[in-house]
Structure 1
Amino acid sequence: MRTIAEINDKISRQQAIVLTVEELKARVAEVGVTQTAKEVDVVTTGTFEPMESSGAILNLGQTDPPIKIRQCWIDGVSAYAGFGAVDLYLGASQMVEYSSMEADGDESRSSTRGGGHVIEDLIAGKSVPLRAIGQVTDCYPRASFETTISRDRINQFYLFNPRNLYQNFIVGVNGGDRPLFTYLGPLQPQLGNAVYSNPGEISPLLNDPDLQLIGIGTRVFLGGAIGYVTWEGTQHFPLQKRLPNRTPIGPAATLALIGDAKQMDARWVRGCYFKGYGSSLMLGVGIPLPVLNEEVVAHCAVQDKDLVAPVVDFSIPRRVRPTFGLVSYAQLKSGRLTIDGKSVRVAPLASLYLSRQVALELKQWIERGTFMLSEAVAPIPHDRVFIPQDLRGS
């Protein structure tokens, strides 16, 4: 048995033994769970995938005379202004409404930009235009405001993401007769392709299936900076059916995350666009798992062949769509699936390479003693049910 305090003491002395989750799986195959648990202090996990339920809080600082912003556009993307006078929330999936690029004739590029791209530009240190309309009051007499902002010319700038890190997800296919443009990207008709988004055995929450090590206050790698778990994520559904190894058979737990965007690196925070669907944010997230006992190692030893996801037909426009059953991540990563006797090509939406790089960079932070583990202040709830908005009689 170890404690987080004991592990942190070793980290502070740069004596902690840290393995990425892939390295740990290989070590378990060599020497077994018991010996690996004796040797290793921390396991690092990672993912780099679209997380559209993300966004940034910005505080501009007051103008003179003061303004109470009620409508605002940052580089043509509408930012929510319904709380503080100069507090804004810029959602990753909010699409551009107007852009200076249109004046240059680049309408195609402007129509594919969204909040995720603006967040990436700000993190990269670029300057972006801002236009605001105010509600004139005695306290705030200014009616409008235009300026250019950057991360260094505003007060607070931090990501606050209501839903990140799905614990497992779905595989999308299209059994219909026309192409579909989805949050998984284009799905070709007649089972022309399949797309999955979770990186499988290296994904953070699949290596701690019951969230015994992850709770409110857990320190994480978020966009190249230190972040924290703030709450359960939206659509958190821990009651999903599970395999005997405790991993869910479909979308389950989620986390809400927060972190200082001024410290982030645009390498790990990238705006993206899905044709016919909209904008999103590719985000690198890594979670360190302290090796407190053998059970931690046993869970982290799970392999792609032991993880499954449902194959969902998007051609049926319903909340609950039919499935073609469950497939393992080992099958998905082979690049081919067989569905109804047809061989279907498969591609990941997550970057498996960059997911591994997140885990590796977090490992290096811990080995250098620059990233300490944190005790959770409260657990993530394990009893949330999913409440759909079906039509109900009056």
Structure 2
Amino acid sequence: MAKKKVSKTIDDINRKIKEGKVVVVTADEMVGIVKKNGAEKAAQEVDVVTTGTFSPMCSSGAFINFGHTKPGIKASRTWLNDVPAYAGLAAVDCYMGATEPREDDPLNGVHPGQFKYGGGHVLHDLIAGKKVELRATSYGTDCYPETQVKKKITLSDLPYAMMLNPRNAYQNYNCAINLTKKTIYTYMGILKPNGGNANYATAGELSPLFNDPYYRTIGLGTRIFLGGAKGHVIAPGTQHNPNAERHENGIPLTPSGTLMVSGDMKEMDPRWVVGVSMLGYGCSLAVGLGIPIPILDAEMAEYTGVSD
């Protein structure tokens, strides 16, 4: 008599979590389990596979509300530690983008630029509990007469600080080489001339979207690890391309899926949200992002058995 194939639901796995009976393994451990026992038996034994990545993710930032002043201000320009934040929102709302450089940064005026401090560094400093200088200016209105504000703030002073990253966790990405005769400076790092090196960016077998290549268990509302705190997937990320050409195991051959994610900065850990300076290119933010993959059946076990 043929054995019944494994078929679980999210509710089944959540119930095992509450009962303390859930079996959780890491993505690299799952590779060995599937290789040794096969996908069907692995699906019987394992309930959840944890995945993760920690890498510069330029399309990141945070919505910040810095609180109403007395008298009130309708901020039209805002800076945090001299890094401009987009202020074309409501009175005291702004968005700090990870790649925004400090206003007085020489950029690539002296090439290659060092980009020592930018939006990603501001976000790290806030999460680390450091004081940050807020400046805001306004043209003044009858209901918001104040025209300038300057004060020191910490994350705990802010009524609202929500990380919202438009594009994180790329499912696959390019490998970069340089075939010219001079060194070039890129978002993929420094590339030596004449094919002297090759730079790539992936967490390999640990990568969240490599372990669920067709997004069976990852979608709107999926709870994730983001910057050391609980976060959520809130939409497909910008440049999301689920129709990319794929290998027979589901792994895309070109840049493909991305996630838009969000989480409360006040719950985050500065170890997992780190400002980055890329020589000759710009500022960014290294983001720690992890997703638990429920093993619903043998197909999901096989997907999470992907290896480097």
RMSD: 1.5
Q: 1:111 to 1:174 in 2, by over 3 A?
A: closer
Does 1:291 pair with 2:298? Answer: no
Is the 2:40–2:297 Cα contact (8 Å) retained in structure 1? no
Which residue identity is paired with 2:25?
L
TM-score, normalised with respect to structure 1: 0.74
Q: Tell me how far 1:36 sits from its aligned partner.
A: 1.0
Matching residue within 22, 37, 44 for 2:28:
22
Matching residue within 260, 265, 273 for 1:261:
265
- 1:179-258 map, 5 Å: 179-258=183-262
- Structure-1 residue corresponding to 2:121: 117
- Among all aligned residue pairs of Structure 1 and Structure 2, give the percentage whose two residues are the same amino acid: 47
Is the 2:25–2:50 Cα contact (8 Å) retained in structure 1? yes
Q: Tell me how far 1:35 sits from its aligned partner.
A: 1.1
Gapped regions of structure 1 (runs ≥ 5): 103-107, 305-394
Gapped regions of structure 2 (runs ≥ 5): 1-6, 107-111
Which residue identity is paired with 2:81?
D
Matching residue within 96, 100, 116 for 1:94:
100
Q: Tell me how far 1:98 sits from its aligned partner.
A: 3.6
Q: Tell me how far 1:14 sits from its aligned partner.
A: 2.2
Q: Tell me how far 1:135 sits from its aligned partner.
A: 2.8
Matching residue within 255, 275, 281 for 2:279:
275
- Write the distance in 2 (CA, Å) between the matches of 1:158 and 1:35: 41
Matching residue within 143, 164, 171 for 1:160:
164
- Write the distance in 2 (CA, Å) between the matches of 1:47 and 1:74: 28
Q: What do the CA deviations read for 1:98-122 (whole angstroms, capped 9, x no partner)?
A: 48xx9xxxxx999411100010000
TM-score, normalised with respect to structure 2: 0.94
Does 1:52 pair with 2:52? Answer: no
Is the 1:43–1:291 Cα contact (8 Å) retained in structure 2? yes
Which residue identity is paired with 1:169?
Y
Is the 2:81–2:122 Cα contact (8 Å) retained in structure 1? yes
Matched length: 297
- Write the distance in 1 (CA, Å) between the matches of 2:193 and 2:204: 26
- Structure-2 residue corresponding to 1:38: 44
Which residue identity is paired with 2:248?
P
- Write the distance in 1 (CA, Å) between the matches of 2:19 and 2:74: 50
Which residue identity is paired with 2:217?
L
Q: 1:129 to 1:202 in 2, by over 3 A?
A: same
What secondary structure sits across from 2:76 in the alignment? strand
- Write the distance in 1 (CA, Å) between the matches of 2:197 and 2:144: 55
Is the 1:177–1:189 Cα contact (8 Å) retained in structure 2? yes
- Structure-2 residue corresponding to 1:130: 134
Which residue identity is paired with 1:299?
Y
Q: Tell me how far 1:30 sits from its aligned partner.
A: 1.8
Runs of 4+ in 1 over 3 A off after TM superposition: 108-111
- Structure-2 residue corresponding to 1:78: 84
Is the 1:170–1:196 Cα contact (8 Å) retained in structure 2? yes
Q: What do the CA deviations read for 1:172-199 (whole angstroms, capped 9, x no partner)?
A: 1100011110001110111111111111
Q: What do the CA deviations read for 1:34-86 (whole angstroms, capped 9, x no partner)?
A: 11110111010000111000001111110000000010110010000001100
Is the 1:71–1:134 Cα contact (8 Å) retained in structure 2? yes
Q: 1:111 to 1:236 in 2, by over 3 A?
A: closer
Matching residue within 14, 17, 29 for 1:8:
14
Q: 1:297 to 1:172 in 2, by over 3 A?
A: same
Q: What do the CA deviations read for 1:285-316 (whole angstroms, capped 9, x no partner)?
A: 00011111111001111122xxxxxxxxxxxx
